[in-house]
Structures are given as C-alpha cells and as structure tokens.
Amino acid sequence: MNAPQLTKNQALVFDVLAKADGPLSAYTILDKLRDYGFRAPLQVYRALDKLLEYGVVHRLESINSFVACAHPNENCHSHGTVAFAICESCGHVIEFHDHEVDHRLANWTRGKKFKAEKTTIEIRGLCETCAA
Amino acid sequence: MNAPQLTKNQALVFDVLAKADGPLSAYTILDKLRDYGFRAPLQVYRALDKLLEYGVVHRLESINSFVACAHPNENCHSHGTVAFAICESCGHVIEFHDHEVDHRLANWTRGKKFKAEKTTIEIRGLCETCAA
DNA sequence: TCAATTGCGTAATGCTATAACGTGTGCGAT
DNA sequence: ATCGCACACGTTATAGCATTACGCAATTGA
C-alpha cells in the first residue's frame, strides 16, 4: 500500500506525527490542529485511518496512540510485522523488524491453520537512557 | 506471582471470565455481575487489576478485553511472554508461548539496552473454523 | 447529466478507564 | 485494648478514546 497524494487533513495529521518526538493520541493531535481548523475527533480519526492504510503511520495498541512510520521511504509492510519498543518513561518509540520472529509466528499460525490479518508486537519498558 | 485466596469481587469477576468462551470487556463483565451487586466500573477494574497481578487473567490490549488464563494451574509467567491469536469472527482466543520468539525479542532488547517490562504479542485474524 | 465515490464538517453518542472521596474490616505493634 | 496501617470496597464524577449518523461538496467516469 503506497501513499497517494495526501489530502489537506491527512497531511496536517501526518505532519504533526512526523514532527512529534513520540506517539500521540488522537485527541492530542486534535488539540494541536485546532488552529488549523480541526474541531472534532472524527477529522483526526478519518485522516489516521487513511494514513494507517497507506502504511505511513502505525498504531500502538497498548497505549492508544499513533506514530509516524520510522521508515518513510520504504514500504513497511514488505518487512513483515513491525514491532515496537516503547519507553514508559520518556515516551520514545523504537520501531524494528525481526524476520525470525515473523517466521516463528508464521509457523505457529500455519500449524493452527489460523489466518493472521494483523499482528501486534509491543514491548513496553525503559529505554537505555531512562533505565540508567 | 501466585494467586492467594480471592476476595468476593475478584472471585465473581474471575468466574465470569472462566465461564466465558472468549474475551470480555470490563463493561460486559459489569453487566453480567449487576445481579450480584456490581454497580460501577471500578468494582470490575479493581478486581481485574488483582487478577492480572496474580497472573490468572490476561488483558488483550488490541481489543480492550480480558480472558482467563488458559493454563490455570501453572504459573504463566514462568513460560515467558504469552502470545494470543484472536479470531475476529468468532471471538475465540488461543493462548500460546514460543520460547524462540521470546529469545529473539530478548536479544533485541539486550542489544538496545532496553529494559522490557511487559511484552504484548497479539495476532488477530481468523481461526481455522471461521477461515474455512 | 447522472450516479458513484470520496472527503469533509458537525453533533451526538457510546465505550473504556481513572480520580477522588469516604467506609469498613482485619491485624500486628505498642 | 486500641491505635495505626493496609487493604478491599462502594459511590459519584470525570477523563480519555472511538464511532454512528446525518448532510454537503467535489471528483470522476459511464
């Protein structure tokens, strides 16, 4: 899924996420965009839905927040499942891929004949700086 | 973390989850327990907090729901990270462990000096029956 | 031109989770 | 025994996250 030309709202939401130094909730995004005419959550959620679909934004399920993809110029989906390490102290997120993990999970689903649609891997803890 | 004697509320919540054939949201649990005197979400959330702490219940982050642990007589935590496959059609959840996945993720965190506190692995899709 | 699609705006609502307050009970230490 | 503490509980209110429902406007393509 490659991103076509973004609409105005999509571009605004994406820019906010791209400039943030960590994940943002939909309502935080809304607040940051009030000066640009945003009034309602749905304006944010609709834009996010598209950005997620295009693969340029990820949703962090465990903290109900969103981040810009760390690999803007590649197609994230081609790397397999995206995993995240989320620092609970400073909020920073590291995005990574591990083919072996993908492989193991794929093996498991194959064995169970489970048809995987979306896989979430999120590690919460403390980043190197905050753990020190 | 082994489970001590449960309090009345904890036991009620646990029983509801144990008898359910799939994950339940806190509010669904609340509704099921109104006849037993439950009136407010906090009664459920407080019980859930303890049950999660004891390891007899798991939280499914991606669907904001809770399930009884599938291995009631073992200590889940001793198996490493618990992973879940969640059928989006019938709602059934399969709980599993994969040491190799744990190992890979542990390797990654070690390399990044990231101190993992809680790891979430959830695969959403269709179970064998529903995919057929 | 008409119909279908897509994005947008607004209001209302629903679902998920926690804060803040106070009560009661059990239990160990003084 | 009684004081102080920890813990579970009950209630109200509020905060935070997400969707439903309605209608309008612009675009596209048959």
What would the mean pLDDT of B19-29 be, rounded to a whole number? 96
Q: Return the biggest CA–CA distance within chain A.
A: 52
Distance A5 CA to D12 C1' (A): 49
Higher pLDDT, residue A80 or A22: A22
Q: Residue A1's pLDDT is what?
A: 56
Instruction: Write down the residue that tokens 């935080």 correspond to.
Output: A28
Q: What is the percent of chain B with per-residue pLDDT over 90, rounded to a whole number?
A: 86
Q: Cα B58–B59–B60 angle (5° rounding)?
A: 120
Q: How far apart are the first and last CA of chain B?
A: 39
Q: Is B109 on the interface with A (CB under 8 A)?
A: yes
CA-to-C1' span, A52 to D15 (A): 26
Do the beta carbons of residue A62 and residue A86 sit within 8 Å?
yes
Q: Which residues lie below 8 Å from residue B111, measured CB to CB, with a gap of 6+? A: none
Contact call for B109 and A123, based on CB within 8 A: yes
pLDDT of the residue at A50: 95
Q: How far, in Å, CA of A38 to CA of A44, rounded?
A: 8
**Both structure tokens of B24:** 């339940």
Q: Do A124 and B119 touch (CB under 8 A)?
A: yes
Mean pLDDT, rounded, of chain B: 92
Q: How many CB pairs under 8 A join A and B?
A: 122
Q: Is A127 on the interface with B (CB under 8 A)?
A: yes
For residue B132, the model assigns a pLDDT of: 79
Do A56 and A17 touch, CB atoms closer than 8 A? no
Helix axes B99-112, A99-112, angle to 10 degrees: 160
Band the pLDDT of B113: cuts 50, 70, 90. Answer: very high
CB neighbour list of residue B54: distance below 8 Å, 6 or more residues apart = B1, B2, B3, B4
Query: Residue B75: what pLDDT?
Result: 60
User: Rounded to the nearest 5 degrees, what angle is found at the Cα of B26, between the Cα atoms of A66 and B61?
Assistant: 30
What domains can you pick out in chain B, each with its CATH number? 8-68 (1.10.10.10), 76-131 (3.30.1490.190)
Which residue has better confidence, A23 or B79? A23
Look at A125 and B109 and tell me if their CB atoms are within 8 Å: yes
pLDDT tens-digit readout, A102-114: 999 999 999 999 9
Comparing alpha-carbon positions, the chain A residue that sits nearest to B122 is: A120
Of A75, A11, A73, which Cα lies nearest the Cα of A47?
A: A11
Q: Which nucleotide is nearest to A28 (CA to C1')?
A: D16
Q: Is the pLDDT of residue B129 over 80?
A: yes
Chain A 27-66 residues in 7 Å CB range of strand C: 37-43, 46-47, 50
CA–CA gap between residue A120 and residue B92 (Å, rounded): 17
Proximity of residue B26 CB to strand C below 7 A? yes
- Give A5's Cβ-side CA count (13 Å radius): 2
Which residue is associated with the tokens 């927040």?
A: A65
Q: What's the whole-model pTM score? A: 0.91
Q: Is the CB of residue B104 less than 8 Å from the CB of residue B44?
A: no
Q: Is any Cβ of chain B less than 8 angstroms from the Cβ of A101?
A: yes
Query: What confidence tens digit (pLDDT) does each residue in A45-78 have?
Result: 999 999 999 999 999 999 999 999 988 666 555 6
Looking across all nucleic acid strands, the nucleotide with the smallest C1' to CA distance from residue A38 is C9
Residue with nearest Cα to nucleotide D9 C1': B43
pLDDT confidence of residue B131 = 84
Closest nucleotide C1' to the C-alpha of A37 = C9
Reading the block at residue B65, the tokens are: 């729901």
Taking the CA of residue B7 and the C1' sugar atom of nucleotide C28, their distance in angstroms comes to 21
Dihedral angle over CA of A6, A68, A52, A45, nearest 10: -80
> pLDDT band at B4, cuts 50/70/90?
confident
Question: What is the rounded CA–CA span in Å between residue A124 and residue A118?
Answer: 19
pLDDT at residue A72 in the model: 65
The pLDDT tens digits for A12-52 are 999 999 999 999 999 999 999 999 999 999 999 999 999 99
